[in-house]
């Protein structure tokens, strides 16, 4: 009886999934040269490891590209385990400024007939993609990004050149001819103007309750950061978010205000990959040296991810995930997360114990008043349907990566109010200040002698020397 029930449930669940149609004999024949159990020999070897056992082991490509000329790009994949329904490959071709110009997601026989949702464990896939750069390509390079996606999610990159959004930066090729060769370097688009990292003052507070509401006087009086911006170039973004920072003897407090009409994060469990959907993120580098920095994320449903890194993104893939910050976090959603109704946004409140930063080398302790720490603040936002994901940050990194410690913002810690009042009371006021001028005694004596020897008129006024009247 139990086996029959399991079978019925399996069939019922299978019926809820839209499966790709079976391949015809003709399609299988077309695929036969692209799928094998024998290991291929790519011209350029790679060792990129994705989650769930998928590997990119290499590629074939020409030495350069010319706009208008057709070439072939070949990717070599190895399948460690089956992935299930919905998984697809993507290929993005960007210019030298990192702007995506071409989408090659569905190009090639493998993309047409044998997407990763069909892949079988143990197989090697030769993924051939024809490519023609447009005639008006105006960049000196073409940068190739690849990966796997399923709806709003991407398969995580565990090892390899990750752009921070689970895209593998596989390689770049020089582009010759066309506008790329004719363009006057003086007319090339200027690189983004790099602004200094922003600063913020964390108020010393009392009485904060972690409930996600931000209605305490401490938060009402706290000053918000500047609006979050595009992290790649520092430009304004439609994703509206700000944050506030505060502290007391026991905790660092961070509050986020995110305006979002589609609040979604269905991931659950300790250290789930919250960045794949909606989440806010905090990175803290106490001494600002780029070593031993900390990362924390909170989803709109209150889930928490935390980890620690020795240096930039090391160790791979996600740092020391055994580190547990023991944070307290709460979120208030203006709407309902994970439904189809429009939302207004959410506020998130996070309390991080100072003791959490004692892990690693060098360990950190609670800051002294007026000390400066380096802090980065980000927000990730999944869009409805196939709208993908967008993000923004307090301090632009000018890279497709959040992990750029020297671009973290600067946070100083205000003294407790009582200490500030004492300092103000001890400071002299303008009414008590008397200007004091110290004169050289010899100069004073010389001035007196000069005045005594100066001719004067009957009224006692100094007379000008002869010839000067």
The enclosing domain of 61 has a CATH number of 2.70.50.60
The secondary element (H helix, E strand) that includes residue 328 is strand 328-334
Residue located via tokens 């600067």: 410
Statement to judge: residues 164 and 73 lie in one domain? yes
Statement to judge: residues 204 and 93 lie in one domain? no
Q: Give the residue ranges of DSSP H helices in 313-398.
A: none
CA 190 to chain centre: 22
Burial of 16 (0-12, 13-18, 19+ CB in 10 A): exposed
CA 179 to chain centre: 33
Statement to judge: residues 338 and 232 lie in one domain? yes
Statement to judge: residues 33 and 168 lie in one domain? yes
Statement to judge: residues 263 and 180 lie in one domain? no
Give yes or no for a contact between 133 and 71, defined as CB atoms under 8 angstroms apart.
no
Q: Is 58 part of any domain?
A: yes
Q: Is 107 part of any domain?
A: yes
- CA distances for 6 relative to 9, 10, 147, 409, angstroms: 5, 6, 35, 54
Statement to judge: residues 404 and 330 lie in one domain? yes
Give yes or no for a contact between 357 and 284, defined as CB atoms under 8 angstroms apart.
yes
Statement to judge: residues 179 and 66 lie in one domain? yes
Q: Is 462 part of any domain?
A: no
Give the residue from 162, 186, 210 where a domain finishes: 186
Q: Is 120 part of any domain?
A: yes
Domain coverage including residue 140:
24-186
CA 37 to chain centre: 39
Statement to judge: residues 80 and 228 lie in one domain? no
Per-position b or e across 441-467, b if 16+ CB within 10 A of its CB: eeeeeeeeeeeeeeeeeeeeeeeeeee
Statement to judge: residues 119 and 223 lie in one domain? no
pLDDT in tens, the chain (469 residues): 444 433 443 433 333 334 556 889 999 999 999 999 999 999 999 889 899 999 999 999 999 999 999 999 999 999 999 999 999 999 999 998 888 889 999 999 999 999 999 999 999 999 999 999 999 898 999 999 999 999 888 998 888 787 778 899 899 999 998 665 454 444 445 556 788 999 999 999 998 999 999 999 999 888 899 999 999 999 888 899 999 999 999 999 999 999 999 999 999 999 999 999 999 999 999 999 999 999 999 999 999 999 999 999 999 889 999 999 999 999 999 999 999 899 999 999 999 999 999 999 999 999 999 999 999 999 999 998 877 889 999 999 998 899 999 999 999 999 998 766 665 555 555 555 455 455 555 665 666 665 555 555 545 555 554 444 4
Strands 293-298 and 279-285: antiparallel
Statement to judge: residues 144 and 250 lie in one domain? no
Statement to judge: residues 157 and 259 lie in one domain? no
Helix, coil or strand: residue 281: strand
Give the residue from 125, 154, 186 where a domain finishes: 186
Q: Is 468 part of any domain?
A: no
Distance CA(112)–CA(426), nearest Å, equals: 77
Q: Is 82 part of any domain?
A: yes
Q: Is the preceding peptide bond at 315 cis, omega within 30 degrees of 0?
A: yes
Statement to judge: residues 46 and 165 lie in one domain? yes
Q: Is 424 part of any domain?
A: no
Query: What are the CB-based long-range contacts (under 8 Å, 24+) for 117-121?
Result: 117/20, 117/83, 117/84, 117/85, 117/86, 117/87, 117/88, 118/20, 119/77, 119/79, 119/82, 119/83, 120/79, 120/82, 121/53, 121/79, 121/80, 121/81, 121/82
Give the residue from 416, 434, 462 where a domain finishes: 416
Q: Is 49 part of any domain?
A: yes
* Number of domains the chain is built from: 2
**Phi and psi of 151, rounded to 5°?**
65, -125
Output the domain CATH number for residue 382: 2.60.40.1190
């Amino acid at each position: 009886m139990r086996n029959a029930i399991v079978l019925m449930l399996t069939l019922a669940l299978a019926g809820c999934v839209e499966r790709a149609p079976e391949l015809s004999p003709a399609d299988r024949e077309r695929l036969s040269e692209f799928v094998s159990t024998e290991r291929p020999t790519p011209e350029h070897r790679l060792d990129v490891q994705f989650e769930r056992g998928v590997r990119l082991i290499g590629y074939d490509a020409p030495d350069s590209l010319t706009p208008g000329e057709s070439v072939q790009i070949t990717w070599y994949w190895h399948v460690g385990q089956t992935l299930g329904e919905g998984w697809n490959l993507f290929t993005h071709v960007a210019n030298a400024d990192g702007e995506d110009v071409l989408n090659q997601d569905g190009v090639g026989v493998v993309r047409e007939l044998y997407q990763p949702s069909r892949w079988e464990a143990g197989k090697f896939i030769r993924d051939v993609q024809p490519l023609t750069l447009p005639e008006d390509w105006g960049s000196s390079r073409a940068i190739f990004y690849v990966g796997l996606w399923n709806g709003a999610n991407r398969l995580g990159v565990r090892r390899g050149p990750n752009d921070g959004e689970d895209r593998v930066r596989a390689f770049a090729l020089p582009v010759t001819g066309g506008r790329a060769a004719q363009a006057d370097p003086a007319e090339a688009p200027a690189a983004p103007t790099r602004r200094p990292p922003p600063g913020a003052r964390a108020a010393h507070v009392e009485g904060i309750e972690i409930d996600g509401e931000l209605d305490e006087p401490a938060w009402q009086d706290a000053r918000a950061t500047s609006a979050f911006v595009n992290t790649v170039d520092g430009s304004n973004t439609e994703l509206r978010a700000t944050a506030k920072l505060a502290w007391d003897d026991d905790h660092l407090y961070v509050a986020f205000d995110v305006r979002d009409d589609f609040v979604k994060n269905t991931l659950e469990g300790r250290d789930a990959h919250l960045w794949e959907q909606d989440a806010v993120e905090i990175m803290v580098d106490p001494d600002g040296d780029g070593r031993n920095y900390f990362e924390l994320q909170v989803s709109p449903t209150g889930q928490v991810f935390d980890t620690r890194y020795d240096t930039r993104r090391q160790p791979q893939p996600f740092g020391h995930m055994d580190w547990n910050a023991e944070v307290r976090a709460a979120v208030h959603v203006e709407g309902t997360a994970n439904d189809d109704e429009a939302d207004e946004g959410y506020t998130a409140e996070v309390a991080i114990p100072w003791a959490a930063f004692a892990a690693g080398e060098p360990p950190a302790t609670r800051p002294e008043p007026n000390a400066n720490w380096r802090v980065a603040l980000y927000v990730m936002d999944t869009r409805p349907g196939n709208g993908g994901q967008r993000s923004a940050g307090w301090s632009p990194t000018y890279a497709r990566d959040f992990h750029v410690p020297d671009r973290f913002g600067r946070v100083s810690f205000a003294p407790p109010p009582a200490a500030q009042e004492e300092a103000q009371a001890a400071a002299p006021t303008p009414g008590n200040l008397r200007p004091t001028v110290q004169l050289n005694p010899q100069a004073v004596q010389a001035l007196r002698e000069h005045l005594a020897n100066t001719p004067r008129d009957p009224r006692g006024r100094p007379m000008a020397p002869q010839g000067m009247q």
